[in-house]
Amino acid sequence: MIRALLISLLLLMQIPSPAPQVRNDSTVIPSEAKESFDMDEYLYGHVLDSYEWHITTIGGKPVSIPLPVIVRSRTTGWHAFSSHHLEEGPYEGFCLVHDPESHKDRVMEQTAEGLVRPLDISITKNVAGLMFNSLVLVLLVLLGVRWYRKHDATEEAPGGFAGLLEMLVMMVEDDIIKPCIGQDYKRYSPYLLTAFFFIFVNNLLGIVPFFPGGANITGNIAVTFLMAVFTFLAVNLFGNRHYYKDIFWPDVPMFLKAFPLMPLIEIIGVFTKPFSLMVRLFANILAGHMMILGVVSVVFLTAELGAAMNAGLSVIAVLFGVFMDVLELLVAFLQAYIFTMLSSVFIGLSRQHPEHEKE
């Protein structure tokens, strides 16, 4: 309830800041302020990446933290400056362009040929959020390790936060990793445990409505793509010979081997498995954020319908927002659990042994 009220209060203070537009002569001008509520900018502005970390708007002025812009020009080399310089117009030959179709802001270089996209490795909101969330995860793990350094775990059971952390680690290892992978599960436990806690912490901090939370990390397909690549490498680099035999020479009738239908299906499956991991995590987290924002937006969309209608629907929106927040807490844990479980299953399939070898 407190979180839903905080979201409503914070968003009531916010006015969508006008995005810069570009004329044909490549000069940047601020767009005109919109009187009506812009639903697209409201939704995409909260879930997409940006070059600044917007906190709130006070008195019509946005309060945000500028982030470092690091770009490489084709002619003048590397440039590093604060994103604050791009708010007033071009800076060092670069400008900020808003794409109305993708609702993204992009740093573009102004050249004689027109606007050109430079090599961009800027620390954007998602990158800064990823760094902060990773630091939080490391600190939480070190707090748990601190107890084991001062106590003998064979004689005393941990309590408090260390006990909670041990419970989660044992649950993931004993209920997911060990049954799915088998005898050499300890080889993959460090990666799978890291993936579980990384996703879980990022999911939880992603639904915090105020700074430094709220960054849509696991709802960014670039992050989920890289995690799926890690699972793909763990499966295919360390798979045994029986795994590759089942792909290229499966135990099927010979006429299916003469026409390589089954090997073709298996090869496609090698890539569709990590693809499903990527899309499942990305789509579920992004959809959850969009649903919560959509519920809260009822407060703004009904503002022109009168005080009574707006107040009644706002109460319903807040109550439904509480339900969505509780559901998001479940989804935050469930998506970390599912990603770890499916990764363990895929790794376990690459480590299978024939029954006669097990005997």
Q: Evaluate the omega torsion of the peptide bond into residue 212 and state whether it is cis, within 30 degrees of 0.
A: yes
Question: Higher model confidence: residue 169 or residue 265?
Answer: 169
DSSP 8-state symbol, 15: -
Q: Which residues of 250-260 are buried (b: 16+ CB within 10 A; e: fewer)?
A: eeeeeeeeeee
Do the strands 77-82 and 114-116 form a parallel or antiparallel pair, or are they unpaired? unpaired
Interacting residues of 247 by C-beta distance below 8 A, sequence separation 6+: 263, 266, 267, 270
pLDDT of residue 357: 54
Question: Higher model confidence: residue 131 or residue 112?
Answer: 131
Mean pLDDT of 188-207: 94
pLDDT of residue 36: 67
pLDDT of residue 10: 45
| 253 has a pLDDT exceeding 80 | no
Phi and psi based region of residue 160 (left: phi greater than 0; alpha: psi -120 to 50; beta: remaining): left
Read off the tokens for 284: 């579920």
How high is the mean pLDDT of the chain?
A: 83
Closest CA to 216 of 251, 249, 208, 275: 208
Mean pLDDT of 213-217: 88
Query: What single letter denotes the amino acid at residue 55?
Result: I
Mean pLDDT of 209-224: 89
Sign of the C-alpha dihedral computed for residues 290, 295, 297 and 302 taken in this order: positive
Question: Higher model confidence: residue 255 or residue 348?
Answer: 348
pLDDT of residue 178: 94
| 45 has a pLDDT exceeding 80 | no
Closest CA to 53 of 29, 22, 78, 17: 17
Mean pLDDT of 258-265: 78
| 34 has a pLDDT exceeding 50 | no
Sign of the C-alpha dihedral computed for residues 74, 76, 77 and 78 taken in this order: negative
Closest CA to 203 of 323, 324, 294, 329: 329
Question: Higher model confidence: residue 69 or residue 18?
Answer: 69
Contact 76, 93 (CB under 8 A): yes
pLDDT of residue 236: 93
Taking the C-alpha atoms of residue 231 and residue 340, their distance in angstroms, rounded to an integer, is: 10
Helices (H), the chain: 2-12, 39-47, 125-150, 160-172, 178-181, 189-206, 221-237, 241-248, 254-258, 261-296, 298-301, 307-349, 355-358
pLDDT of residue 355: 59
Mean pLDDT of 185-193: 94
pLDDT of residue 354: 65
| pLDDT 10s digits, 293-341 | 888 888 878 877 788 888 888 888 888 888 888 888 999 999 999 999 9
pLDDT of residue 6: 45
pLDDT of residue 218: 93
| 350 has a pLDDT exceeding 60 | yes
Percent of the chain, pLDDT > 90?
A: 40
Question: Higher model confidence: residue 304 or residue 347?
Answer: 347
Of the listed ranges 20-34, 52-66, 208-222, 292-306, the one predicted with least confidence:
20-34
| 136 has a pLDDT exceeding 90 | yes
pLDDT of residue 30: 44
Read off the tokens for 308: 């009574």
